[in-house]
Amino acid sequence: MDGFPILSLMLAVPALAAIACLFLPADTARWTALAATLVDFVLGILLWANYDVGGAQWQFVEQGARFGFFAWDLGIDGFALMLIMLSVFLMPICIGASWRSVTNRVPEYMAAFLLTEVLMIGTFAAQDLFLFYLFFEAGLIPMYLIIGIWGGANRIYASYKFFLYTLLGSLLMLVAMLYMARTAGTSSIPALQAYDFPADVQTWLWLAFFASFAVKMPMWPVHTWLPDAHVQAPTAGSVILAGVLLKLGGYGFLRFSLPMFPEASGQLTWLIFALSAVAVIYTSLVALVQADMKKLIAYSSVAHMAIVTIGLFAFNRQGIEGALVMMLSHGLVSGALFLCVGVIYDRLHTREIARYGGLSINMPRYALFFLFFTMASIGLPGTSGFVAEFLSLMGTYQVSTWIALLCTTSIILGAAYMLYLYRRIAYGEITSEEVRGMSDLSSRELWLLAPIAAAVLWMGVYPESFLAPMRKDVAVLLQRIDRAAPPSDSNPTPGNPAAARAMQAHHETTPGEAHH
Amino acid sequence: MILAIVFLPLLAAIVAGLGNKQLGAFPAKLLTTGLLFVSCALSWPIFIGFMTGSLSASVTPVLHWIASGDMDVSWALRVDALTAVMLVVITTVSALVHLYSWGYMSEEPDQPRFFAYLSLFTFAMLMLVTADSLVQMFFGWEGVGLASYLLIGFWFRKPSANAAAIKAFVVNRVGDLGFMLGIFGTFLVFGTVSIPAILAAVPGEAGSTIGFLGFRADTMTVLCLLLFVGAMGKSAQLGLHTWLPDAMEGPTPVSALIHAATMVTAGVFMVCRLSPMFEASPDAMAVVRFVGAATCLFAATCGLVQTDIKRVIAYSTCSQLGYMFFAAGIGAYGAAMFHLFTHAFFKALLFLGAGSVIHAMHHEQDMRYYGALRKEIPLTFWAMMMGTLAITGVGLPFLDIGFAGFHSKDAIIEAGWAAGYPGVWFVGVLVAAITSFYSWRLMFLTFWGKPRWINSEHIQHAVHDAHDHGHGSHHADETHANPAKAEDAGDAPSQHGPSQQELKVGTGGYHPHESPLNMLVPLGILSLGAIAAGFVFAPFFIEAEHAGGFWRGALFFNEHLMHAMHEVPVMIKLSAAIAMLLGLGSAWYAYIRNTAFPSVVSDQFAVLYRLFLNKWYFDELYHLIFVRPAFAIGRLLWHRGDEKTIDRLGPNGVAWAVQLSSRGAARFQSGYLYSYAFVMLIGLTAAVTWAIAG
């Protein structure tokens, strides 16, 4: 693949298809969009197959022309590869999910999705600071349109809220980026990752980026746009929002905050930890009392994303790799959960949990998939969710036992709200005639859910496939940030067997002191 | 071979589960049961191999799993003596329960799903006991939790079954929180999660301290206690026990397999597997001992007064698990495993026997409505008799010959004295008396006395149906509807329910029927186990001369203690037998000789009676301090936190401020309000971008 601009091609295919869609009738636009996303998926597989695991840090590098203040520089490392794979994998599924449920302005809808794909891949592949910024921020526009035009009843409020939040944070980031480019004399991301800013400047820059990434993540307390956006978005919009757009924040921390401002990251770890621990407990409890399925899953997303942030800022391999797997896993699992909601929403046109009940009786295949993704969401070993949660929390424990304890409560609270949801939807007696009339998964819906289930299982049983491409990048990152790692609160002292044996002997001579 | 043992049940579960209705009930049953018997047949030679000494520990790698720096885990199957014991327990009981379910679940329309769950459970349990690393053990741990959740909630139309299923999963997760933190801590200290590597490094950590939640404490104590919280959850020990009685919502074969013989013993297995770690921490051992003894006593007191036959056995299980834990807590791991082994047979037998009684009594589970069943269902009666003789520990103290429980339970009680813990010994003896009382109470209420069947709604329904529609016309409905009524009563015990002698005597024209052969054969085989498992296998598990050669380091075997066990004073040796006779005698007096006596006692000690009947009010307490606050706080955070605070000061506030600043706009409609904010922001962004970049 030497010299072949595969990344540009992956951007060009959906971009051209998006333009084409605008001029096509609805049905042709659907097929065009599906074909384009499938082609991109195949290109993604080629990209992965040709990626040299353990090879150079930046691969498929393309140095293009300069346009004013930004350059068309593309290239990926393992992190970007995996997130691009996630995007191109979910995209055809999104198109398939909208096949019947979207009937209004189909060509524009398909074009918006294809544009989203371009911008997502671009964000992950950009190697120029301002190119990244363009893709990163422009990604909002199609999502804004998708919510605002094809969304639910209260879509206007939701779309503005979404835009307000995300844009406010971005302004500060842009200012910081301009400062960085001026000071370091380059806008190349790899170069900036090796540039050492003075520690006090780092803190300000870190906070500016944090403003943007925390909203995108979303972290508590700037998370309230997410439930509204999800509730109002069409199914496929929710899938892509939860699946990929929520990963932009984590990617930002990984690409910018940690390697460019390691000292500031180390100093401000407490902030990330505190907000994340609050988020896990706060949003889990809020999820428990939701009456709207999408809101419930949206709040659970906030809790899961908090596991990503603590993992990233654990400054060790388990934490960072766990956070990465969590990004991938959550992308698949929450995407699939939103699809599951979409399946029954298409039949009954309500997201209200109380309207459902007993779906296991007349929709057994649906109940099986829903159960599988529920279990993946609560981190059952054997699914991707476990690998993610386990590694991330393991990394956190090495820094702070308090934060690990607080965040591990997510395994209890997550089980509570997800199983409570599942019980209300799938178990019990069928509550109404309209529910009784609901049909099981169609083969189209089966084809949307089955690949995700396979991927979740694969990532849970053999995560090596996904960890291997990122391993060397984690090593590079760790090497860069290790000097700023926060201290551990565990600090085990070395053992002293001889002294202990003496104590043990003493203990044995006075048995029976532990009666009750 | 071990690959076949572990993965055949998985294969069966996948085929039966995905095939489900298309596959049909018979092929699904045949496949799952057949493969389980193959698994079982392959397991016994391994166990025998370890007894004869022809096999030694081995690890079969399967697949790389998670590699993250030093955290390197593979899927691998470890077989040593400890695993071999669990292999035979799991596959034997599971195969018999599969077979038994052919009869017990024959009226059930959803059989493939049931058998798939059973096989899935068996697979997960086998993964747990063959684990070579803590992480794979956790996989099995959660896998059995999933299967337990699915099987408790098998009758998913019943609200009570769903509630019990969620409760079991969530309470177990509280334990898992401890287990997970324990794994993290272990990795932090040892830099590995491989069990043999950890155990090898344990001696070097003696005297080390570690920080945890701001405190500093002995490293091994912290790690052991965290791991033990996991064991407490899975093995329903005091505090985390509340899910087990409710788990009886599941079909009875499930109770026998999961909630008696195998899954609930996983905690004991874990402590034995990690026994060198626990040995390194006297404080952790004291906690294990205390929790075990407390559970043992607590659960026995609840078992005294329950009227639901399955709940009596459930509390009995909880109590027997307490025995196993305090055996482990005094360092008698061999005795703990021995009791686990014999208990699996006799407790599965008691549950399956109870299932056979319930089957005969048309889904009636309340023992108050039983009576005089000895002649009606003689084979079930004899099977239950063997189980009762085993659990109460009937045997001849000086000839060293007796039923299964005689060997294993008495060994624990004697070891308690020998290890120098008279308090533990006393609890053991006391609970032996209580065990004997409630076990015989169950037998007397069920099989002796006069028939009180006429009082049962289930029986009335059955007779009514038989007259009106011919027997069996409403089978499918009843399997769903009837247990619901019975089990709901168990959840909130009726405080003033009728006592035995207040009830009418009469059969109501009902004729109990003995269970079919496929249910009786498992009862027969398990009866053999209840009779013989004790004296046949005692030498290998606990006798100082043989057992060291059997375990060969698979657990910490205290030869010194096992010797001392035989040299306890005669009165100590006899104490368990005396306690057993006392229990039998008083049960006989209260439930045969003078049936008015129980109500006299319960009236006299009304407070205590109500405390026991209501399971010491744990459920009410937990509901009050955990469940209700969780929902209330959730609502509070949502409305007051997200909506009233964050949104009001955040996006709504911005929109409001924009609206204020652009005075002229008198339109309050939210759409317009946000348009202004939106346009201003876009403009600002564009201006800033242009100004700086241009």
Q: DSSP string covering A279-335, please?
A: HHHHHHHHHHT-SBHHHHHHHHHHHHHHHHHHHHTT-SHHHHHHHHHHHHHHHHHHH
pLDDT band at B662 (very low <50, low <70, confident <90, very high): low
Q: What is the pLDDT of residue A54?
A: 81
Average pLDDT over residues B1-16: 91
Using a pLDDT cut of 90, give the percent of chain B over it: 44
pLDDT digits (tens, 9 = 90+) for B484-523: 333 333 333 444 455 555 677 877 778 888 888 889 999 9
Cβ neighbours of residue B235 closer than 8 Å, sequence gap 6 or more: B264, B265, B266, B267, B268, B321, B324, B325
Interchain pair B207, A164: CB under 8 A: no
Give the pTM.
0.91
Asked if the model's pLDDT at residue A484 lies above 60, the reply is yes
Q: What is the pLDDT of residue B15?
A: 92
Q: What is the pLDDT of residue A377?
A: 94
Name which of A426, A467, A515 is nearest B421 (Cβ-Cβ).
A515
Cβ neighbours of residue A1 closer than 8 Å, sequence gap 6 or more: A46, A50, A60
Longest dimension (CA), chain A: 91
Using a pLDDT cut of 70, give the percent of chain B over it: 88
- Please, which residues 555-614 of chain B have a Cβ atom closer than 8 Å to chain A? none
Q: What is the pLDDT of residue A507?
A: 53
Q: Is B147 helix (H, G, I), strand (E, B) or coil?
A: helix
Closest CA to B320 of B369, B390, B250: B390
Interface size, chain A vs chain B, as Cβ–Cβ contacts under 8 Å: 255
Interchain pair A495, B204: CB under 8 A: yes
Closest CA to A487 of B442, B211, B351, B182: B211
- Please, which residues 417-476 of chain A have a Cβ atom closer than 8 Å to chain B? 419-420, 423, 426-429, 461-464, 467
Looking at per-residue pLDDT, the higher value among B123 and B632 belongs to B123
C-alpha B131: how far from chain center: 19
* H or E element at residue B60: strand B58-68
Residues in chain A with CB shorter than 8 Å from the CB of B139 are 381-382, 386
Closest CA to A94 of A243, A240, A231: A240
Interface test with chain A among B63, B64, B66, B210, by most A beta carbons within 10 Å: B66
Looking at per-residue pLDDT, the higher value among A496 and B260 belongs to B260
Asked if the model's pLDDT at residue B675 lies above 70, the reply is no
Name which of B69, B156, B170 is nearest A317 (Cβ-Cβ).
B69
Q: Is A485 helix (H, G, I), strand (E, B) or coil?
A: coil
Name which of B188, B211, B650 is nearest A224 (Cβ-Cβ).
B650
Interchain pair A164, B654: CB under 8 A: yes
Asked if the model's pLDDT at residue A162 lies above 80, the reply is no
Query: Within a 10 A sphere around the Cβ of A311, how many other Cβ atoms?
Result: 30
For A477-481, B610-614, B649-653, which range has the lowest pLDDT when averaged over its residues? B649-653
Query: Within a 10 A sphere around the Cβ of B546, how many other Cβ atoms?
Result: 15
Answer whether B430 touches A (CB < 8 Å).
Answer: no
Cβ contact B263:B163 at 8 Å = no
pLDDT digits (tens, 9 = 90+) for A360-402: 888 989 999 999 999 999 999 999 999 999 999 999 999 999 9
Answer whether B691 touches A (CB < 8 Å).
Answer: no
- In angstroms, the CA B612 to CA B405 distance is 25
B574 φ/ψ sector (left φ>0, alpha ψ -120 to 50, else beta): alpha
Q: What is the pLDDT of residue A2?
A: 60
Interchain pair B650, A222: CB under 8 A: yes
pLDDT band at A487 (very low <50, low <70, confident <90, very high): confident
Average pLDDT over residues B594-612: 83
Interchain pair B206, A167: CB under 8 A: no
Q: What is the pLDDT of residue B443?
A: 92
Cβ contact B297:B431 at 8 Å = yes
- In angstroms, the CA B282 to CA B260 distance is 29
User: What's B468's DSSP letter?
Assistant: H
Cβ neighbours of residue B400 closer than 8 Å, sequence gap 6 or more: B407, B535
Asked if the model's pLDDT at residue A293 lies above 70, the reply is yes
Q: What is the pLDDT of residue A387?
A: 94
> What is the least distance, in Å, from the CA of B208 to any CA of chain A?
4
For CA atoms A406, A409, A414, A417, give the dihedral sign. negative
Q: What is the pLDDT of residue B665?
A: 42
- Please, which residues 361-380 of chain A have a Cβ atom closer than 8 Å to chain B? 361, 364, 375, 380
Asked if the model's pLDDT at residue A422 lies above 60, the reply is yes
Name which of A287, A289, A493 is nearest B209 (Cβ-Cβ).
A493
| φ, ψ at A103 (rounded to 5°) | -125, -10
> What is the least distance, in Å, from the CA of B55 to any CA of chain A?
30
Asked if the model's pLDDT at residue B323 lies above 50, the reply is yes
Looking at per-residue pLDDT, the higher value among B93 and A100 belongs to B93
For CA atoms B560, B561, B562, B567, give the dihedral sign. positive
Answer whether A214 touches B (CB < 8 Å).
Answer: no
Q: What is the pLDDT of residue B371?
A: 82
For A393-407, B43-57, B362-376, B472-486, which range has the lowest pLDDT when averaged over its residues? B472-486
Interchain pair A462, B63: CB under 8 A: yes
Q: How many residues does chain A have?
A: 516
* H or E element at residue A166: helix A155-184
Closest CA to B5 of B49, B36, B48, B34: B36
Name which of B143, B205, B424 is nearest A381 (Cβ-Cβ).
B143
Q: What is the pLDDT of residue B668?
A: 42
Residue A476 sits at the vertex; the CA angle it makes with A470 and A478, to the nearest 5 degrees, is 100
Name which of A411, A419, A504 is nearest B180 (Cβ-Cβ).
A411
- In angstroms, the CA B551 to CA B24 distance is 44
Residues in chain B with CB shorter than 8 Å from the CB of A317 are 68-69, 71
- In angstroms, the CA B273 to CA B492 distance is 38
Looking at per-residue pLDDT, the higher value among B61 and A157 belongs to B61
For CA atoms B273, B274, B278, B279, give the dihedral sign. positive
Average pLDDT over residues B457-486: 53
B123 φ/ψ sector (left φ>0, alpha ψ -120 to 50, else beta): alpha
Q: What is the pLDDT of residue B562?
A: 84
Q: What is the pLDDT of residue B486?
A: 36
Cβ neighbours of residue A315 closer than 8 Å, sequence gap 6 or more: A265, A266, A269, A399, A478, A481, A482, A484, A485, A486
Q: What is the pLDDT of residue B602?
A: 82
Interchain pair B156, A492: CB under 8 A: no
- Please, which residues 75-104 of chain B have a Cβ atom closer than 8 Å to chain A? 75
Residues in chain B with CB shorter than 8 Å from the CB of A380 are 142-143, 146
Q: By CA distance, what is A372's nearest residue in B?
A: B146
B24 φ/ψ sector (left φ>0, alpha ψ -120 to 50, else beta): left
pLDDT band at B211 (very low <50, low <70, confident <90, very high): confident
Residues in chain A with CB shorter than 8 Å from the CB of B181 are 397, 401, 404-405, 408
Interface test with chain B among A168, A299, A401, A467, by most B beta carbons within 10 Å: A401
Q: What is the pLDDT of residue A299?
A: 93
Average pLDDT over residues B639-658: 73
Residues in chain A with CB shorter than 8 Å from the CB of B290 are 514, 516
Interchain pair B210, A397: CB under 8 A: no
Interchain pair A427, B688: CB under 8 A: no
Answer whether A393 touches B (CB < 8 Å).
Answer: yes
pLDDT digits (tens, 9 = 90+) for B513-560: 888 888 999 999 999 999 988 888 888 888 877 888 888 888 888 888
Asked if the model's pLDDT at residue A218 lies above 80, the reply is yes
Residues in chain A with CB shorter than 8 Å from the CB of B322 are none
Q: In chain B, count of helices (H) and strands (E)?
A: 31, 6
- Please, which residues 89-108 of chain A have a Cβ atom closer than 8 Å to chain B? none
Residues in chain B with CB shorter than 8 Å from the CB of A381 are 135, 138-139, 142-143
Beta-bridge partners for A67: A70
Cβ contact B335:B542 at 8 Å = yes
Q: What is the pLDDT of residue B79?
A: 93
Average pLDDT over residues A100-112: 86
Asked if the model's pLDDT at residue B170 lies above 90, the reply is yes
Q: What is the pLDDT of residue A71?
A: 80
Asked if the model's pLDDT at residue A225 lies above 50, the reply is yes
Give me the residue label for tokens 């690998």.
A387
Asked if the model's pLDDT at residue B682 lies above 70, the reply is no
Q: What mean pLDDT is reported for chain B? A: 84
Q: By CA distance, what is A360's nearest residue in B?
A: B156
Q: What is the pLDDT of residue A310?
A: 94
Name which of A165, A423, A511 is nearest B651 (Cβ-Cβ).
A165
Average pLDDT over residues B372-400: 88
Cβ neighbours of residue B177 closer than 8 Å, sequence gap 6 or more: A405, A408, A409, A411, A412, B229
Interchain pair B647, A170: CB under 8 A: no
Residues in chain A with CB shorter than 8 Å from the CB of B420 are 511-512
For A140-144, B60-64, B124-128, B338-342, which range has the lowest pLDDT when averaged over its residues? A140-144
For A56-65, A342-351, B80-89, B479-488, which range has the lowest pLDDT when averaged over its residues? B479-488
- Please, which residues 13-52 of chain B have a Cβ atom closer than 8 Å to chain A? 20-21
Closest CA to A243 of A320, A158, A337, A150: A337
Tokens of B387: 């189980």
Q: What mean pLDDT is reported for chain A? A: 88
Name which of A290, A412, A464 is nearest B170 (Cβ-Cβ).
A412
- In angstroms, the CA A166 to CA A184 distance is 27
